[in-house]
Amino acid sequence: MIYLDNAASTPIHPEVLKTLNESLELYFANPSASHKLGKTQKKLIDKVKLNFLSLMNGSGGQLVFTSSATEANTTIIRGLDLRAGDQVFYNKADHPSLVNAIENLSEKGVVPVAIANRIDGLWDLNELSEKISEKTKLVCLAHVNNQTGISQHVERLGAILKDWKNCHFHLDGMQAVGKLDVDLSKIGSSSYSFGAHKIQGPKGIGALYLKNGVSILPLLLGGSQQEGLRSSTENTPFVLSFEKAFEIVNKNLNDVNEKMLELNKYVRETISSKNNQFEFPYSIENTVPQILMLKIEGISSDIILRHMEEEDIYLASGSACSSKIKGYNPTFEALGIDEKFHKNFLRISFGPGNDLKQIQSFCDTLVETVEDLKGFMR
């Protein structure tokens, strides 16, 4: 099997799985319990939070564990308790957990303002600087785009927003953590969300960073766990597994990124040399090496995916959260891509388990598949 859909989800790391299995046996008690078993787990969870904050250079802030990055994003978008007339800046090319939640705020009179993308996929920060005002209460964007792999200039944005004290700056870091060295002190965001299953951890756990002084209303009400910010019994085994995955990915970040860059360049160079109908709309300089967007004009990506599956090769035509969309893709529209080409894109997303031999096989199979399909269509 050749798995190239790591942007959707990654296989769990063996060390993370070991931590999870051991924790499920050892840490079955409720961390809120007043007995020794509960208190021990509560101390472990608090220690893990400090470790995350230290590794991300977010000391002085808070970390809240959630069930996912989607929950973390919704916690911010709803928890700021925005009022009619307030503006929210966002980008229509971002993940649905941002776009849909923000556009839903219009029902209460909040004004969503879409930030434009430049031709290279980066945000038009000049437009943002011109449009921002005292009415702007939230800027909510993705650090790395989940379909294109574009890595945005978040530090530049943070510098712009620094002077707007009443504007909350939230970043969805789901596709950035594990691919970039995320330094919260340099970014300067008010909050930052991320999750475990993109970094070889388990599904079902995410995290929300809150800068010191940030106040939000909780999304969930109940037993007032996690300083009242997220009621629900903490999942100690998942917390410890998340920590293990986070430590591993940060320890190996530079080496893995070098490997991913090599694979990315190989795909770009190899299939371009074999067939000039392959196009890569976004430069390697503006994207993380793990995500590569490919255009194949004239053939539906769904047809290619089915043929690749028959060879036990798995990739995507877009994000998993948009996989039910037929034809029209709102992310591609926001990026300025003509709708007639929306079904001509593939997303290749590399992971630590991929090697050059696999990628050579993938390239050969893809080129052969496309040539065969074009032959049938003549």
Question: Which three-class secondary structure string do you get for 55-75?
Answer: HCCCCCCEEEEECCHHHHHHH
Q: Which CATH superfamily is domain 2-9+252-366 in?
A: Aspartate Aminotransferase, domain 1 (3.90.1150.10)
| Beta bridge partners of residue 150, listed in sequence order | 287
Q: What confidence score (pLDDT) does residue 318 get?
A: 65
Q: Contact, 79 vs 218, CB < 8 A?
A: yes
DSSP E strand boundaries for 130-205: 136-142, 168-172, 191-195
* DSSP helix/strand/coil, 85: coil
Q: Where in the chain is the domain with CATH 3.90.1150.10?
A: 2-9+252-366
In the chain, CATH 3.40.640.10 sits at 14-251
pLDDT at 178: 97
CATH architecture of 14-251: 3-Layer(aba) Sandwich (3.40)
Instruction: Please tell me the predicted confidence (pLDDT) of residue 171.
Output: 98
At residue 378, the pLDDT reads: 56
**Dihedral sign (CA 306, 286, 270, 179):** negative
Pull the structure tokens for residue 83: 């009022």
Would you say the C-alpha torsion 60, 64, 65, 69 has a positive or negative sign? negative
Asked if 136 contacts 164 with a C-beta cutoff of 8 angstroms, the reply is yes
pLDDT < 70 positions in the chain:
318-327, 375-378
Give the three-class secondary structure for 5.
strand
pTM: 0.95
Distance of CA 216 to the CA centre of its chain: 22
Q: Name which of 162, 118, 120 is nearest 139 in CA terms.
A: 162
Residue 142: what pLDDT?
97
- Calpha distance 363→9 (Å, rounded): 22
- Sequence letter at residue 199: I
| CA distance linking residue 266 with residue 262, whole number of Å | 6
